[in-house]
Amino acid sequence: MMKIMPVDQFDAEDFKTPPIQAGNEIEAAVDDIIRCVREKGDQALIDYAARFDHAIIDNVVVSDKEIEEAFNSCDPEFLETLRLARDNIEAFHSHQKRNSFTVCDENGKVLGQRIIPLRRVGLYVPGGTASYPSSVLMNAIPPKIAGVKDIVITTPPGKDGKIAPAILCAAKIAGVTRIIKAGGAQAVAALAYGTESVPAVDKIVGPGNVYVATAKRRVYGVVDIDMIAGPSEILVIADGKSNPEYVAADLLSQAEHDKLASAILVTDSEELAKAVQMEVERQLALLPRQEIARASIDSNGKIIVAHDLMQGVEIANLIAPEHLEICVDEPFAMLGLIESAGSIFLGRNAPEALGDYWAGPNHTLPTSGTARFSSPLSVDDFVKKSQFLYYSREALAEAKDHIVSFANREGLNAHANSVAVRFGERV
């Protein structure tokens, strides 16, 4: 049962879910997997598919025929849903695209910055007990908008050696260029270092288990990564007029993700706190994933009764949740006060699931309090910037003495000389 606690017992550190951490045994196993993939390439991926996924495959690349079969097997209505969701995600993320700029002045100076898309990115899509086509859309569409030409997905095959049709359809609809039958640390290694069939990428994004997270840590520096995500989180700020049935449903929408997920309600109403507590219990009994949600609620479900909603905002900023719902009549009055949250859901008709699947903002969000300094996945994650500068001789002459002075102050005489020598001087 969710625990109700007065605000004077609140400690923000108790509410931060730690990122995925691996013990020495897992780290050693991941190092062995990475080493094997680097040495054996595709054969290592085939062997690991048999060992970990119990799947017999002879080719790690999904064929056009398999994609065609997936489209033929998927419900046309679901395919239309995927396309409409894609359109919403594209529409939102298209506003994030940046432009290069150039600044010139009369003295012969040209300064600027170029926005350059990454050459190739890899998207890890979890498999196992569930498939998440929504994650395919959310991870594949931003790099496509950024201008990335090659978008590679890795996802573990089922025991039949195939990828879930919904994943294949979402990938094709999102514009993915190739799909690889590989999961776990071995998929991350293949993306980072390349194999005969898997091209090495510049960046790896996407969620995964502790082996995936550990592998991403290990290959960071060889490639870029998005984040090391922790368990899912939701914090709901709700006033006394909120419907406890709605609030409970929203809290459970995250609790069913993971036994380590956290669901927190902050309210100024003791009556609502008690009503939500009982409603969570009622709805829990009806959930197919009841065991997972029960573990999450019992361990990490909390209801904080604050003095007022402004104190609720302060609590939210300290916790910096992945998902933040503001269930009040005038949510925009609070929006400007929120300093740290991954994605903010405003009003009584914006459940977290709206952002997971449909509205357009990304659902790959910072967890474990990292919203204090990091952001949702976006187009910015798939570009790099190069700056450039040009000076005429006249412009450099104007700056010469200042540069020489600066360089000499730092004891870097060769720096100073590289300017002075152009004017027949020696420092």
> Whole-angstrom Cα distance, residue 370 to residue 298?
24
Q: 261-293 burial, b if ≥16 CB within 10 A, otherwise e? A: bbbbbbbbbeebbebbbebbeebbeeeebeebb
DSSP 221-257: TTBEE-----S-EEEEEE-TTS-HHHHHHHHHHHHTT
Catalytically active residues are 322-323
> Whole-angstrom Cα distance, residue 216 to residue 19?
13
Q: Strand pairing partners for 103?
A: 111
Secondary structure class of 411 (helix, strand, coil): coil
Q: Could you tell me which of 293, 296, 294, 333 has the C-alpha nearest to residue 312?
A: 333
Q: Could you tell me which of 258, 226, 248 has the C-alpha nearest to residue 374?
A: 226
306: left (phi over 0), alpha (psi -120 to 50) or beta: beta
Q: Could you tell me which of 302, 307, 337, 338 has the C-alpha nearest to residue 323?
A: 338
What is the SS3 assignment for 323-382?
Answer: EEEEECCCCHHHHCCCCCCCEEEECCCCCHHHHHHCCCCCCCCCCCCHHHCCCCCCHHHH
